[in-house]
Amino acid sequence: MDARQLWLRYEPYHDVTYFTPESRAATDALGCKGGWMGYFGMRAAPLGAASPELVTAVFYNFAPRMVSRALPDAWEVASPADFLRARLEGVDLALRRLLGDVETAEIVEAASLAREAALAAPIAGRPLAAANRALPWPSVAHLVLWQACTILRESRGDGHVAALVAHGVGPCQALALYAREHSLDPAYMRAARGWTVEEWDAADVPGDLSAVERATDAAALAPWEALGVVRTSRFIELMTPLAVRIASANEAMRVNPMALDPVRELAVPGWNT
């Protein structure tokens, strides 16, 4: 099983949480000052009213100053519970727009498989995965699928942070290495995570992330080993058209700090986007 190929299927479904007009409208309605306050509020909300120091630590690759521009002010704008409600409302509306019919048998089946995998995802030492898994499950399949994808995504992300720490790769250095390896615009990557030119230049030292990526993939396989080869293959089959459709219609997928291009990487013969 290829952990990256699985990630390519569930990451686009998760990403509607933050990077859609519906998501922005939901946090604007709460009173957020800008999209980043909404992002930090929604992603951190499962942790409760977390401090900027805690969020900087668990999100890992954001500059502390960028986090502190949004937190703790976001908790004065709305409670974590309000952010959780807003993000679910935004996700629901975004998925209905991007996918059209969200009550298909395929989505119901994908939700069942993803939920089982998510419940098998490691949470020990993985705070964002644990916090999201502690939330109540939605009652409809397309949102069950979203929550499962979110748990899987955050479990992988927490494991990636652990691998970075174990290999001595700091937050800004990780971004600089990643930008170099994937030919991403350094100015865009700096702005997306709040680092200065001086910080970036100091961190942009020789090295690569191959060992970190191998460790990340290895640590992300447990849910799929629990699901088994046959049902994991079925999950891939069900999620591929959903990921391509979402990525094709979601402008945020065109340029992103993850170098994620599902439309290209998950090209399906005969798929008309």
The verdict on residue 202 lying in a domain is no
Locate all alpha helices (DSSP H) within the chain, ordered by sequence.
3-15, 21-30, 35-44, 52-59, 64-68, 73-77, 80-99, 105-120, 127-133, 141-166, 171-181, 186-193, 197-203, 210-219, 222-227, 229-249, 262-265
pLDDT of residue 17: 96
* Domain count of the fold of the chain: 1
pLDDT of residue 249: 83
Burial 29-54 (b: 16+ CB within 10 A, else e): ebebeeebbbbbbbbbbbbebbebeb
What is the span of the domain harbouring residue 222? Answer: 3-169+209-265
145 burial (CB, 10 Å; 0-12 / 13-18 / 19+) is buried
% pLDDT > 90, the chain: 87
pLDDT of residue 259: 57
The verdict on residue 100 lying in a domain is yes
The verdict on residue 186 lying in a domain is no
The verdict on residue 26 lying in a domain is yes
The verdict on residue 213 lying in a domain is yes
The verdict on residue 246 lying in a domain is yes
Q: What is the pLDDT of residues 186-211, one digit of tens each?
A: 999 999 999 999 999 999 888 899 99
Q: What is the pLDDT of residues 14-28, one digit of tens each?
A: 999 998 999 999 999
% pLDDT > 70, the chain: 92
The verdict on residue 11 lying in a domain is yes
Q: What is the pLDDT of residues 104-143, one digit of tens each?
A: 999 999 999 999 999 999 999 999 999 999 999 999 999 9
pLDDT of residue 268: 44
pLDDT at 74 over 50: yes
The verdict on residue 271 lying in a domain is no
Q: What is the pLDDT of residues 234-263, one digit of tens each?
A: 999 999 999 999 988 876 666 566 656 666
What's the predicted TM-score (pTM) here?
Answer: 0.94
pLDDT at 272 over 60: no
